[in-house]
Structure 1
Amino acid sequence: MRRVWGLIVRPAVLMLAVCIPVAGCSTACPAIGWVNTVTVELAGDVSNVSTLQLCDGDACSELGPRAAPSAPRSIAPTLSVDPSAPFTPAAQPTMAPFYAERVDADTWRFTVSMSSPDHVTARVLSSTGAVIAEKEAELDWKRVGGSAQCGGPAEASPVLLTVP
């Protein structure tokens, strides 16, 4: 019996004494991935506003992806490939830093995946692409979900832009 205590029971008791407190202090984070948002509110004459862009450096927002309407299925023609031609890799697609969604006539919401830039430029564009109004803004981010240990979605204070 003494031999069993020394070989099996004592190591098991020691392992439980170490594991239980450690397990109680650990934090299990849910799946990682969230979207941060920036709201831009327009004031003034919004009748000529076609779109609103939010830019971080040289990269600007795009309209958010929408579900494509169901279309008839088509079959692509077979392409012949010259095996002696040199391989040229396809250009890597660039990702927009923000995706835009028009909420109403004077409110736009921009989403950005797990990023929180400090500084952005908001631009109001006409239907011809002319810049009607522009404003540089510092963003103040506040976490609105998740936890301090695991992170989570955040919202920036609204950017107010006056359209002449």
Structure 2
Amino acid sequence: MLRMTRTLALAAAGVALLPALAGCSSGACPAVAYLYSVDVHATGEFASLEVCADGVCTASTGGGAAEAVQPPEGELPPFALERRSDGRWSVTSLQSAPDRLTLRALDSDGAVVAERGYELEWTRTGGSEQCGGPMETPALDFDATAD
């Protein structure tokens, strides 16, 4: 019985200290890496799609345009480009939410057949203003026959 009383007393003391200890926290944000994704609806005839942001472009599956700048060797590109099974494309930023993207459609020789720049408007969908969180931006329509 004495053991049970001590256990209850310790539990009550712990619960009573929780609000005081909560004030001692650093308020640090959790170490969470968020991915920022943009859907692209691309139309027209082209062999591959290339995306550029902040002066760096993805490696193009069609050989790439001559002016494409790749990240230094051993570093990951700041984003990934994936063609989904529904025919749409997904651009995922691995580091931050870019303010601007440039999309390029390439022919089978790697020549640019269409190019368009987009200003992105991101909206936070979770997290907090202090710590950030996941974000989304409207889908992009890219017509490779427009140039």
TM > 0.5: yes
Superposed displacement of residue 56, structure 1: 1.1
Superposed displacement of residue 58, structure 1: 2.8
Q: Aligned AA for 2:127?
A: G
* Aligned pair partner of 1:96 in 46, 54, 77: 77
> How many pairs does the alignment contain?
119
Aligned-residue CA RMSD (Å): 3.1
- Map 1:1-164 → 2, pairs under 5 A: 19-20=20-21, 22=23, 29-43=29-43, 45=44, 48-62=45-59, 92-104=73-85, 106-164=87-145
Aligned 8 A contact 2:79 2:93 in 1: yes
Aligned 8 A contact 2:79 2:95 in 1: no
Structure 1 gaps, min length 5: 1-15, 64-90
Superposed displacement of residue 50, structure 1: 1.9
**Aligned pair in 2 of structure 1 residues 17, 110: CA closer, same or farther (>3 Å)?**
closer
Structure 2 gaps, min length 5: 1-16, 61-71
Deviations 1:43-76 (A, max 9, x none): 3x3xx3222111014311247xxxxxxxxxxxxx
Identity of aligned residues (%): 36
Deviations 1:121-163 (A, max 9, x none): 1111122111121101101112233333422222222221112
Aligned 8 A contact 1:27 1:149 in 2: no
Deviations 1:97-137 (A, max 9, x none): 21011014641101112401111211111221111211011
Q: Aligned AA for 2:75?
A: T
Aligned 8 A contact 1:40 1:160 in 2: yes
Q: How many Å separate the matches in 2 of 1:95 and 1:153?
A: 21
